[in-house]
Structures are given as structure tokens and as C-alpha cells.
Chains A and B, each alone.
Chain A
Amino acid sequence: MTSRSDIAIEFIHVDYAVDENRSLLSDLNLSIYRHETLILLGRSGSGKTTTLKLINRLLSPTRGVVRVENKSTLEWDAILLRRSIGYAVQEVGLFPHYTVEQNVALIPRAERWDKRRIANRVREVLSLVGLPYEDFAQRYPHQLSGGQRQRVGLARALAANPPILLMDEPFGALDAVSRAEVQREFSSLRKRLGTTTVFVTHDVSEALLLGDRIAVIEEHQCVGVYSPDEFLASPDPRIRAYREISRDSGPTSEEQK
């Protein structure tokens, strides 16, 4: 059904430990297919972010292999690997001393694209995330709303046209309304782009909305990978617990508004 060449990222028996007593990830086996959006769902401190950082080699596995495009991350040149992977994180991601345009153009500049190509690409990705170039290019991050900052973060991650995109709770700091708005846009965007995306979140409804598959990470281990339908139907008590949390928190957050 799926051959090796359909796999973009693969974790094979991966451990990551800070030292002998503190393991952050143990025996992770996970295949991420080309063009899919895989959600890493779990509580804070469960190992989701660690998993993400193993992909762009901000961390190296203490045991096992992480393969990106059929090559161990340790065999990749770290800079080359990272430039072929877009990286968007919560809140602090943008450089405060650079304008929107400078932030977005950073990697294309580092890659020495010619000026015209960079200018075109900045326009293109900004319009892709719904920010008109004329209105936003010259602003600084502190002159943007939270939702706009997240969009710039996404535009910057997409700028060099990477085949893989890593997102670490990118919408985590937003209020409920802008969050829903950005989620909707991202959902349609990812279908158009076809980028392989690994998306970290602790929000069950976000996982169900955006994911093709959901990998549940608990206590530094992956307890299973589910399609949204399987996730909703799973009899596993651990998965049921997630569904109940999301059902309970749904109405209360409505009331708060």
C-alpha cells in the first residue's frame, strides 16, 4: 500500500534522554508520510516538542535513528537539513528587531536567492497567509496583533518553500476567536500546499480539525496513531480521557466569553 518512498520522516526505536535518569522519549517508532499532516497530541511535558526537535536536529537521538528523506538526521548537514524544514513556534518566534519583510526573507537571503526572487516570494507567502504586502511588510512584530504574528511566523516558515513543515503549538497563545480563524485558514492552506507537516498541540479539537493522523504521546511514549475517525471511536481509556477533556472544556470556554 505505502512504500518506503512515501515516507518523509521515520523514527526507528528512538530514545532521547537528558542524562541516565531523565528520559524524555523512549522507543518511539513512527512513520510520517509525504503530504500528510501528522499531529503530535499530548499533555505538557509528554515529549511532543522533543519529538519535533529530533526532526530538525535541534536534538540528536541518544538511541535509534531519525530518518528524514531516507537519510539519518546525523548524516545530514545540519544547516541544509534545517533549511529544508520550515519551523514555526509559539509567540517568541519572530525577531523583534526585524520588520515583517526582513523576518520572512531571512532564509531566502541566507540561501543567496537573487533580490527579485526574494521580493516576489515575500509577497507571495504573505498573501498566502492573508497579509497584504503593502500593509504589513514594513511593520515590526510589536505592531501586529497576536494572530497576525502567527501568520508571519507561518509565512517565514514557508518562505524557502520547504517540503517539510514543523509547527510547535503555533496558535497556542491566541484568543479563541483569532485561533479559530487562523486554524480555518491553515486547514485550507495545508491542503493547497501539500507540505508534509508535523504539528504539536495539546488541544484535541485542533488535532481533529487539522490532522490527517493523530499520534498520541503520553509519558514520553507514543501510545498509538489514529485517524480522526479512529480517534473518536477508540475504546482505549487513555484516548477516551482526551475526548472527555475536550467535551468538558468546550462549553466552559464558551461561557467565559
Chain B
Amino acid sequence: MTFLDFLLKHRVEVTMLTMEHLRLVLWSMSIALLIGVPLGIILARFAKLRAIVLGANSVIQTVPSLALFGLLLPVPWLGARADRLTITALALYALLPIVRNTLTGVTGVEPAILEVAHGMGLTNRQVLWHVELPLAAPVILGGVRVAAVITIGVATIAAAIGAGGLGEFIFRGLAMVDNNVILAGAIPAALMALLADGAIGLVQRLVQRPRR
């Protein structure tokens, strides 16, 4: 049986697992964004917190994904369901690039521009929304792009703890020593990563366009 035959025969399952994969990725990315961007802004304001927060974040990044799933397992509410656990772990991985790039982007805004913004009479909040975030947006999106690609890849491991997603095919294929089954998981996951990378890259170019 060729790979295409296999795909056609299992198209319902491929679609279902792809959607499941996407769901894990979207949830974890949303959480990482909701925490990461504000955290990056806070770090931009309070330089003293940077070493601690970024350090802790890097430590998380170094824990292998399977081990991280295992470590989170005993946590009460999280450990109860495989998808909760997976989403939390994926969000933790996605956090570092988002926090770091938000910090870099916001601190990278020209001091002279900030001074003018304050001098005109904008409040701190208005300076953040009108000046700092728009000017930092391309850098922040760069972090989101990296985070999305990492998350889509690592999400395949989620199948190991029964959270579903395209990793199901990969693990099953490994057990059956069947390349077609492995590819049915690996190729859609790779395509998803490429698409996310391209789409976010496009947004990045759009926000960057009206500049010098």
C-alpha cells in the first residue's frame, strides 16, 4: 500500500487527529501569549526581575518534554486530564521566546521617541499602546513565530500520555514499524508548522511595512 492510499483510507482519522493537534496548539499558544506578553512588558519596566524570570524560563526550556509531562502529572487539577497537562506543558515551552522577544522589542524602542511621547502629554498607558507595542510588534511576532513552530512539534509527544493529536500516528507507526503510519502523523505536523511560520511571518511583514 502506498502512502497516498493509506492517507485516503484513513482520511477521517487524519483529519480528526489534525484538528485535535490544532486544538492543543491553539490553547497553549493563547495561554502563552496572554501570560508572556504582559510578563515581557513587566520585565521591560523592572530590570531587576529579568534575571530571575528569564532564568526560570530557560530552566523549563531545558527539561525534556516527556519528563515535563511526567513532572506535571502529580499536580492535582492538571494531572486529572491528559489534554490539560499537555496544554500547560506546551504553554510553558512557548513562554520563553514570547517573553524574551517582548522584552527585547519594548526595550528596543528609541528613547528619543519615548521622550517625545511623554513630552506631548501621553499617559504611560497611552505610550504603551500607541508607541511601545506597535513599534515592538515585529519583534514580538518573531517570538510568537518561533513559539508556534516549537509548540506544533512538541505537541506530537502529547500522544505518549494519551492527549491525542498527530503524535498518535507517529507512536503507532513506531510500534508497528510502518513508515506510512509514521508519515501520516509527521507530514501533516510538518505542514502545520510551515503554514504557521509562513502566516505569522506574513503578519510580521504587514505590521512592519509602513516604516523607514
Which A positions have Cβ atoms within 8 angstroms of B? 53, 56, 58, 79-83, 85, 87, 89, 92-93, 95-99, 106-107, 110, 140-142, 156-157, 166
A97 to chain B: which residues have CB within 8 Å?
134-135, 207, 210-211
Binds A, one of B49-57, B73-81, B114-122: B114-122
In the assembled complex, which residues on chain B have CB atoms less than 8 Å from the CB atom of A96? 135, 210-212
Q: Which residue of A lies closest to B118 (CB)?
A: A58
Chief secondary structure at chain B's binding surface: helix
Question: Can you spell out 18 A-B residue pairs with CB atoms less than 8 angstroms apart?
Answer: A58-B118, A58-B119, A79-B121, A80-B121, A82-B120, A83-B121, A87-B116, A87-B119, A89-B112, A92-B113, A92-B116, A93-B116, A95-B130, A96-B212, A106-B120, A106-B122, A140-B210, A142-B211
Q: Which residues of the other chain, B, contact A166 by a CB distance below 8 angstroms?
A: 119
Q: B135 touching A110 by the CB < 8 A rule?
A: no
Instruction: Give the complex CA separation of A142 and B122 in angstroms.
Output: 23
Question: How many Å from the CB of B130 to the closest CB on chain A?
Answer: 7
Nearest chain A residue, comparing its CB with the CB of B211: A96
Determine the distance from Cα of A97 to Cα of B212 in the docked complex, in whole angstroms: 9
Chain B residues whose C-beta falls within 8 Å of the C-beta of A140 in the assembled complex: 210-211
Task: Give the A-B pair count, Cβ closer than 8 A.
Answer: 63
Pairs A-B, 10 closest by C-beta atoms: A82-B121, A83-B121, A87-B119, A142-B212, A92-B112, A140-B210, A97-B134, A96-B211, A93-B116, A79-B121
- Give the docked Cα–Cα distance between A53 and B121 (Å): 13
Using A58-B115, A82-B120, A92-B116 as known contacts, say yes or no to A110 and B126 having CB atoms under 8 A apart: yes
> CB of B110 within 8 A of chain A?
yes
Contact B130 A106 (CB under 8 A): yes
Q: B116 contacts which of A83, A85, A89, A98 (Cβ < 8 Å)? A: A89
Q: How far is the CA of A85 from the CA of B118 in the complex (A)?
A: 12
Q: Residue B131 at the A interface, CB < 8 A?
A: yes
Asked if B15 is at the interface of the complex by the 8 Å CB criterion, the answer is no
Question: Which residues of B lie under 8 Å from residue A87 when comparing CB positions?
Answer: 116, 119-120
Q: How far is the CB of B138 from chain A (nearest CB, A)?
A: 10
Which residues of chain B are within 8 angstroms of A99 by Cβ–Cβ distance?
Answer: 210
B123 at the interface (CB under 8 A from A): yes
Instruction: Report yes or no: A110 in contact with B121, Cβ–Cβ below 8 A.
Output: yes
A82:B119 contact, CB within 8 angstroms:
yes
Residues in B with CB closer than 8 Å to A98 are 130
Interface positions of B (Cβ within 8 A of A): 110, 112-113, 115-123, 126, 130-131, 134-135, 207, 210-212
Min CB distance B204 to A, Å, is 14
A95 and B113 contact, Cβ closer than 8 Å, known pairs A79-B123, A140-B210: yes
Given contact pairs A92-B112, A92-B116, A140-B211, enumerate 12 new A-B contacts (beta carbons under 8 Å).
Answer: A83-B121, A85-B121, A89-B112, A96-B210, A97-B134, A98-B130, A99-B210, A107-B122, A110-B122, A140-B210, A142-B210, A156-B120
Q: Could you say which residues of chain A place their CB within 8 Å of the CB of B212?
A: 96, 141-142
Measured in the bound complex, the distance between the Cα atoms of B191 and A134 in whole Å is 46
Determine the chain B residues whose CB is within 8 A of the CB of A156 once the complex forms: 120
Please name all residues of chain B whose beta carbon is closer than 8 Å to the beta carbon of A95 when the two chains form the complex.
113, 117, 130-131, 134
A95 to B137, CA, bound (A): 14
Closest to B131 in A: A95
CA distance A140 to B110 in the complex (A): 18
Question: What's the Cα separation between A87 and B121 when bound, in Å?
Answer: 9
Chain A's closest residue to B111 (CB) is: A92
Q: Which chain A positions have C-beta within 8 A of B130?
A: 95, 98, 106
Q: What is the CB-to-nearest-CB distance from B66 to chain A, in angstroms, rounded to a whole number?
A: 43
Q: How far, in whole Å, are A80 and B123 apart by their CA atoms in the complex?
A: 10
Residue from B119, B126, B211 within 8 A of A56 (CB atoms): B119
* A-chain residues with CB within 8 Å of residue B210 when the two chains form the complex: 96-97, 99, 140, 142
Contacts of B121 in A (CB 8 A): 79-83, 85, 107, 110
Complex Cα–Cα for A141 and B135 (A):
14
CA distance A81 to B135 in the complex (A): 26
B115: A residues at CB distance < 8 A: 58
In Å, the complex CA distance between A166 and B116 comes to 11
Say whether A82 contacts B116, CB under 8 Å. no
What is the CA–CA distance of A87 and B115 in the complex, to the nearest angstrom? 10
Task: Using CB atoms, name the residue of chain B closest to A95.
Answer: B131
